[in-house]
């Protein structure tokens, strides 16, 4: 795909820097996840059980406690997978207690980061930046709009001089 003659390529990326006063700052790179299919293949979305209503019709029971718990677990795994997949952009990052091919290990990433010496706030920052690189919010749109308008104003000034 091209826009104004320039090819659009590559996913959004962000650099996450965790400062360390007594040593080298720790730098992660997170990249937006472009394909959720691998996750969906490993972890299909839970299906609500059916319940019988008047007239002998079966309908999904979205309020079933077991289903709600499965849905909660699914959401946690999905977030963990997104974080781990985003952080794959970090060269040399190796997990000791996480295996991307094993969904039962995905939630271990927080504990592993804490054991490596990251504070809860730092872990939340890493997770937050992984979420942000995969999201689009009004703040990002406004910043991009301002950059565009600034370049447009600068181009207009250059053409009028």
For residue range 59-80, list pLDDT tens digits in order. 999 999 999 999 999 999 999 9
Residue 68: what pLDDT?
Answer: 95
Q: How confident is the model at residue 136 (pLDDT cuts 50, 70, 90)?
A: confident
- Cα–Cα distances (Å) from 65 to 61, 79, 96, 118, in that order, read 9, 21, 34, 35
- pTM exceeds 0.95: no
> Given a cut of 90, is residue 90 above it in pLDDT?
yes
CB-based burial, 27-54: b 16+ in 10 Å, e otherwise? ebbbbbbeeeeebeeeeeebebeeeeee
% of the chain residues with pLDDT over 90? 68
Question: Averaged over 74-91, what is the pLDDT?
Answer: 97
């Amino acid at each position: 795909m091209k826009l104004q003659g320039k090819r659009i390529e590559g996913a959004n990326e962000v650099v996450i820097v965790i400062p360390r006063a007594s040593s080298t700052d720790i730098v992660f790179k997170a990249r937006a996840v472009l394909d959720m299919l691998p996750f969906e293949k490993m972890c299909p979305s839970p299906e609500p059980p059916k319940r019988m209503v008047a007239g002998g019709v079966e309908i999904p029971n979205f309020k079933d406690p077991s289903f709600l718990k499965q849905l909660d677990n699914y959401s946690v795994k999905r977030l963990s997978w997104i974080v781990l997949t985003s952080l794959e952009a970090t060269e040399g990052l190796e997990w000791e207690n996480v295996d991307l091919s094993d969904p039962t290990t995905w939630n271990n990433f927080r504990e592993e980061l804490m054991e490596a010496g990251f504070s809860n706030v730092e872990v939340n920052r890493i997770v937050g930046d992984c979420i942000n690189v995969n999201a689009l919010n009004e703040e990002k749109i406004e910043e991009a709009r301002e950059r565009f308008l600034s370049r447009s104003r600068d181009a207009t000034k250059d053409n009028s001089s």
